[in-house]
Structure 1
């Protein structure tokens, strides 16, 4: 489990659930939800003024709804529809995830929902061990799922002694995250070794493959999800080359999928027929070329931004540039000519304000305005297909980032202005 006393570079205590420091503006998940609503308002205002082509999505989530016209009165019908496409969905999902011929499939309304439902259904009152990539951390849904299930969570990075932890804890469930939302990778051989040990110890294994189901095989030459040895694997239907809708696809052993599906239904987390039918269409139209194109454009953007803003500030992931929230705050204060000593804002608040300016002034939509409560707060530009061209090309996007840093720097000493950027006019 995360250290409850951990701090960021400025001495702010990190929230152990979400992994970033809260402040006077973003105090809780409620304020994160308010930030999201404000981001939606900013986007809507821009579309009304400049049209839908004025926004490029840089979250890595395409979030389309790829239904066919003929689906509306067949697959989308709530009573009969799911039975009509169940076999087609099962076959393509098993192929996509590398499952066995007799595996089962379920669609839930979010990957986070599937993870929470899996922990609640499968932990059986025992502790959960979460194995994450080196330098990574568990998704907030793993932490929250354990809290809901009333079981202890033990987290360990893949380059640490996870074998001893599994042996000592004797968990009921081991969750293996192969690729985090910050795009840290766990080597396939480590994931396989963890899964094998967990099974020998009598634990069930859930693979969190939200990104990994496609990024590992397509970009890193890895094996398909369930070839790693898990009992279940879940992926996100709108990440890393899948076009949407926002939903989670769960594949694995039939009795376990049934238990998780039942728990998801108890919690109201199951995907209704239109979502599940759209997930089928997304899988049917998936092409590795789409992910490769996204990766190439993201890495080119990362290189350009790194050349402009510095290699010490900008990292480049498989899908695009990233700036850690602590470094973003230091850079904003540097541009403002001010010290961070005694700062009244936190890094998460700085990156949220930066996201608001990027969206309002330049049409760059990021997780810093549109992330759900608990989402990472680093600055991550993962351009979806066509996003860079839509906003005028690579140089325009790089200029927008530099200009936005300067804009936030001009008001960083005015907490009320930072709050207005993040939450909107709260009067």
Structure 2
């Protein structure tokens, strides 16, 4: 048993609506089809195959991305033989990248910058470099949880994790920690207000702790949609953001900015682990930050709200939850709807909610070109149905009403096979079953 999960396993196991035990690392119940990260990886690989077949048959415009991650690769032709060159390139643009990253995250002129192949990699490396052998305190919005990379980072660093929601007494844990991680906006888009984040930062600094803000979404969502301050203006030592979500076009990478010595330590640890971003990725991060336009985020948010309103009208406001970027339906609620449509009870079922949403996602992708995290999320990603349209997503799949009709159609198709475990397994994992 890892140090990072001792506390969770010593308590009564959490269970979902159907009585399935929830894996404390990923926050959802595993079943007989999606048993571990290995099956999640197989599901992802199958999802990629399904997407490729659709593109080969109908062209790239036949798919709309509803993950909230645009994932372009915005290098320029002149970058290919200069900035993307592995030996010379990083030195050519290092200062330019540092300056634009500092501006984006509201840092200080002498701050450092490091780029990682994923935001998760940056979080893991920072924990490994800066936890100091003590438990990490993770503060998250009420009712939500840390990203799986925080849990796994603590396990790899062999330190404990104290996760506290914003409505609980987080102050009592700060004295025990060298590193405090504050998730300002979670992947479910639950959000802390700036005043609360500042209070955590101030208390942590009084205790001599280092503060990292997980700003994967928050670096843009808070200032652009809610009038908040830029990340490092909140007083933290470090902030990390994702370069392919909430208005940034890609690539998939994480950029860390903050006190130069701490950034250097995290970057060095990432290099030890092979998690640093190589020259072409970092060059694309530079171009992505340079061309960031807040209007793109407001457009995404407006499209998401239009879709949320339509899905609420079809499924009910009590079923559909709204985030800043679009509608969400909890995985338990999805399975409950499927059971109702199939006219069966949960006792007749061998699948768990994450498998129901994975099956729904595969059908949405194959039949309607709607690409979601349910097919393309990495192991540990949330498994609720989340529809966060990127800029051209709605147009690519026929508009808002087409998406609502597709969700209804695919729920019926899952209901038709939900008691057939082999059919569900084939749908979710394909040839990787």
Q: TM-score, normalised by structure 1?
A: 0.98
Displaced runs of 4 or more, over 3 A: 1-4
| Helix, strand or coil at the partner of 1:424 | helix
User: Of residues 160, 165, 168 in structure 1, which corresponds to 2:173?
Assistant: 165
CA-CA distance at 1:426 after TM superposition: 4.2
- 2:244 is equivalent to residue 238 of structure 1: yes
- 2:410 is equivalent to residue 425 of structure 1: no
How do residues 83-232 of structure 1 correspond to structure 2 at under 5 angstroms?
A: 83-167=91-175, 170-232=176-238
- 2:51 is equivalent to residue 39 of structure 1: no
Cα distance in structure 2, aligned partners of 1:425 and 1:266: 35
* Aligned equivalent of 2:26: 18
| Helix, strand or coil at the partner of 1:182 | coil
| Helix, strand or coil at the partner of 1:341 | helix
* Aligned equivalent of 1:250: 256
CA-CA distance at 1:392 after TM superposition: 1.1
| Helix, strand or coil at the partner of 1:235 | strand
Cα distance in structure 2, aligned partners of 1:183 and 1:391: 24
CA-CA distance at 1:341 after TM superposition: 2.2
Cα distance in structure 1, aligned partners of 2:117 and 2:226: 28
User: Of residues 74, 78, 88 in structure 1, which corresponds to 2:86?
Assistant: 78
CA-CA distance at 1:390 after TM superposition: 1.3
CA-CA distance at 1:342 after TM superposition: 4.6
CA-CA distance at 1:386 after TM superposition: 1.1
Cα distance in structure 1, aligned partners of 2:222 and 2:194: 8
| Helix, strand or coil at the partner of 2:22 | coil
Cα distance in structure 1, aligned partners of 2:266 and 2:431: 42
CA-CA distance at 1:3 after TM superposition: 3.6
Deviations 1:122-153 (A, max 9, x none): 00101100000111100000000000000010
Cα distance in structure 1, aligned partners of 2:349 and 2:122: 39
Please say which of residues 268-277 and 156-165 is displaced more in the overlay: 156-165
Deviations 1:64-84 (A, max 9, x none): 000100000000001111111
User: Of residues 268, 284, 287 in structure 2, which corresponds to 1:281?
Assistant: 287
User: Of residues 329, 337, 352 in structure 2, which corresponds to 1:331?
Assistant: 337
Please say which of residues 83-92 and 60-69 is displaced more in the overlay: 83-92
Please say which of residues 234-243 and 311-320 is displaced more in the overlay: 311-320
User: Of residues 27, 30, 36 in structure 1, which corresponds to 2:38?
Assistant: 30
**2:325·2:388 contact (CA, 8 Å) conserved in 1?**
yes
Structure 2 unaligned spans of 5+? none
CA-CA distance at 1:165 after TM superposition: 2.4
CA-CA distance at 1:425 after TM superposition: 2.9
**2:136·2:180 contact (CA, 8 Å) conserved in 1?**
yes
Deviations 1:173-231 (A, max 9, x none): 00000000011001111111001101111111110000000000001111000111111
User: Of residues 364, 384, 394 in structure 2, which corresponds to 1:388?
Assistant: 394
- 2:75 is equivalent to residue 67 of structure 1: yes
Cα distance in structure 2, aligned partners of 1:312 and 1:151: 40
Cα distance in structure 2, aligned partners of 1:362 and 1:342: 29
Cα distance in structure 2, aligned partners of 1:335 and 1:52: 33
* Aligned equivalent of 1:294: 300
* Aligned equivalent of 2:316: 310
**2:41·2:379 contact (CA, 8 Å) conserved in 1?**
yes
- Cα 1:105–1:416, aligned 2, differ >3 Å: closer, same or farther? same
* Aligned equivalent of 1:261: 267
Cα distance in structure 1, aligned partners of 2:348 and 2:262: 51
Structure 1 unaligned spans of 5+? none
Deviations 1:96-144 (A, max 9, x none): 0000000010100000000000000000101100000111100000000
Cα distance in structure 2, aligned partners of 1:328 and 1:397: 16
